[in-house]
Structure 1
Amino acid sequence: MDVTEWLLDSDPAIRWQVMHDLLDAPPDETDRERARIATEGWGARLLALQPDDGYWGGEEYGIDGDRRSVIWTLHLLRRLGIDPDAPQTRSAIARVRDGVVWREWGELPFFHGEVEECVNGGVLALAAYFGELGAGSDRIIERLLHEQLADGGWNCEPIEESTRSSFDSTICVLEGLLAYERAVPDAPPEVAASRRLGEEYLLERGLFRRRSTGEIVLPRYATLKFPPYWTYDVLRSLDYFRLADDRPDPRVADAVELVVSQRGDDGRWLAGTPWNGQVFFAVDAPEGEPSRWNTLRALRVLRWFDQR
């Protein structure tokens, strides 16, 4: 079985992305495969785990790294590529919209976000993906533009504690801003300007290095994992830039090489160290075993980079 066949021998969430991103399958075939996510496999299992009050795991965020909460379940559904317009998806989102609030932040509705940049960037991405933009996303945009630091990025730590941006916070915000722009064609120009500054923060550092010394910022940035949750790694960043720009910036070359260096002799990438926390069920291989998610994402990044 070659790598493509191995990727296709999986959940609909992986199959449709292989068809779309690697095989250029006809849209009707890709759409049919994508539609299956809401009715079978991982997507259907996650939807079935939502209680009537909307709170997966009983929490909007999750205590002590518990990943069975509303925000992380929605992020996983988004990364699976579930059809946001499927009836099953709409029912789940309605329960979140109508019932889930940020209980530690004044009972704000879920899609209005809270106070941390990394969380709000993620909520913005979810609101754009699931068609829940409105007053809540306007609030988030206003906060994020105001909270951007002088170096171009963002940091969930209070400005009194740090004036330097965080790779983790910055990628979360960038994903949210890009999703917002794609969903709102007439988005204010300052949103794109802010996003470009954030991208420059990462590009100036080659996506994983310290600008001052050229050393890798944190070893975990080279560890490829899925789902990424709020954490940064080079593959997540490259996958973002693949979506943001048709033509790769030359400054991503070292990050691409770092990903290529982890390719096995069989053409597959292994699963990295998973982030801590309880999950409903695993959607990737155990650490050190061949990972369909890492292989899929790496191959589509390389395809994008090779077309420069």
Structure 2
Amino acid sequence: MAPSGSVIDWLLASDPAIRWQVLRDLLDAPEAAWQAERAKVETEGWGAELLSHQDADGQWAGGAFMPADYSEEKWRELGQAWTATCFSLQQLHDFGLDPTSDRARRTVDLIGRNSRWDHDGQPYWDGEVEECINGRTVIAGAYFGVDVSPIVTRLLSERQADGGWNCERCNGSHRSSFHSTINVLEGLLAYEQAVGATAETRAARAAGEDYLLERGLFRRLSTGAPADERYLKFLHPNRWRYDFLRGLEYFRAASLATGAAPDPRLGEAIDHLRARQSQDGTWPLDWQLKGPVWFEMEAVGEPSRWVTLRALRVLKWWDEYAGR
């Protein structure tokens, strides 16, 4: 699939966080070109805006998972807040802040010294108890050059018998969830790319991948019905939530990292992705998570540059393999 020039132009008329990924992933631009654009994330647009909200101690909103002043009453009224440290780091990763920059290194150091998890005061880079949170902490740690191997060891020990993971394991759950599984899979892949794979991480990823593939990325294994209709809707940022496009993006990243061909069981999800493309070549933002954010990037119901970028690079990967 070759995206039309008008769609590419529309994507490029955007934020540096999107432009550099369009250059690298859709246009196969020379590294010097997309790296130069990527460097602007720190000083322009959404990346600079997010960094402007950082606290002097390296955190955001004074907390690891929740803002320091966010009460249960506020949660019930406004929804979960997405302004604290873990979600801000996740967005900086998604924006592509250069992990070798002085700003990134200073941030990582300050968070390590000052941030503690709400659960039981654990140091930030030690992780906490939930698989979803720990999976995303591994992603950020691997990206920003932190040794997160103890968290990885913990996640490897927490895999469910059906192959995936579930944040409710500590409350007695014996079944995996799409949400927890994708967070851990992304974390394990990021860890392998940063420091190398082991037999244990490969086996765990294979089991988690089979969990998703056996379900076609969105179906219940028992009935074949969609496990959640929202899995077929486009969401961005995903935060901790799963949807089928996030699943496809993981399998694209894993394929590019390992050289493995796309699994045929992804075909139905690919067909659904193609079917949702608008006549103008874009994809919409179907919904967003409730709760305070530092700033809005896109409007629900409108064409989404983020979703369109993600969809186009998945289809480019899929079609390039199909043409071999």
Fold-level similarity (TM above 0.5): yes
Identify unmatched segments of 5+ residues in structure 1: none
Deviation for aligned residue 1:160: 5.2
Q: Distance in 1 between matches of 2:162 and 2:199?
A: 20
Deviation digits for residues 137-163 of structure 1, max 9, x if unmatched? Answer: 232112111110010000000355321
In structure 2, the residue matched to 1:198 is 208
Per-residue deviation, 1:86: 1.5
Please give the alpha-carbon distance, in whole angstroms, between the structure 2 residues aligned to 1:217 and 1:261: 20
Find the aligned partners of 1:82 and 1:173 in 2 and give their Cα distance. 22
Residue 102 of structure 1: SS of its match in structure 2? Answer: coil
Residue equivalent to 1:57: 61
Q: How does 1:1-308 map to 2 (within 5 A)?
A: 2-62=6-66, 63=70, 64=75, 65-105=80-120, 107-133=121-147, 137-158=148-169, 161-185=172-196, 187-246=197-256, 247-283=261-297, 285-308=298-321
Structure 1 CA distance, aligned partners of 2:131 and 2:180?
Answer: 6
| 8 Å CA contact 2:165, 2:176 repeated in 1 | yes
The AA in structure 1 aligned to 2:302 is: E
Per-residue deviation at 1:212?
A: 1.8
* Maintained 8 Å contact 2:63/2:116: no
TM-score, normalising length: structure 2: 0.91
How far apart, in 1, do the equivalents of 2:290 and 2:15 lie?
24
Secondary structure of residue in 1 paired with 2:61: helix
How many Å separate the matches in 2 of 1:213 and 1:222? 17
Equivalent pair of 1:47/1:92 in contact (CA under 8 Å):
no
SS in 2 for 1:60: coil
1:155-196 Cα distance to aligned partner (Å, 9 max, x none): 0003553211000000000000000000012x4311111111
Aligned-partner SS, 1:201: helix
Change (3 A) 1:52 1:127: same
**Which runs of no fewer than 5 residues in structure 2 stay unpaired?**
none
CA distance in 2, matches of 1:90, 1:159: 33
One-letter amino acid matched to 2:11: L
Amino acid at match of 2:187: G
TM superposition shift of 1:57 = 1.1
Taking structure 1 as the reference length, the TM-score comes to 0.95
Alignment deviations for residues 54-91 of structure 1 (CA, whole Å, 9 cap, x no partner): 22012211253100000000000101111111122222
Using the aligned pairs only, state the percent identity. 48
Matches of 2:308 and 2:142, distance apart in 1: 27
Q: Distance in 2 between matches of 1:222 and 1:57?
A: 32
CA distance in structure 2 between the partners assigned to 1:140 and 1:245 by the alignment: 24
Q: Is the 8 A contact 1:8 1:15 kept in 2?
A: yes
**Greater RCO, CA 8 A, separation 6+:** 2
Deviation at 1:93, TM superposition (A): 2.0
Q: Which whole-Å CA distance do the structure 1 matches of 2:199 and 2:115 have between them? A: 31
What residue identity is the alignment partner of 1:118?
C
Report how far residue 103 of structure 1 moved: 3.8
Secondary structure at the aligned position of 1:272 is classed as coil
Q: CA RMSD in A?
A: 1.2
Letter in 1 for 2:211: Y
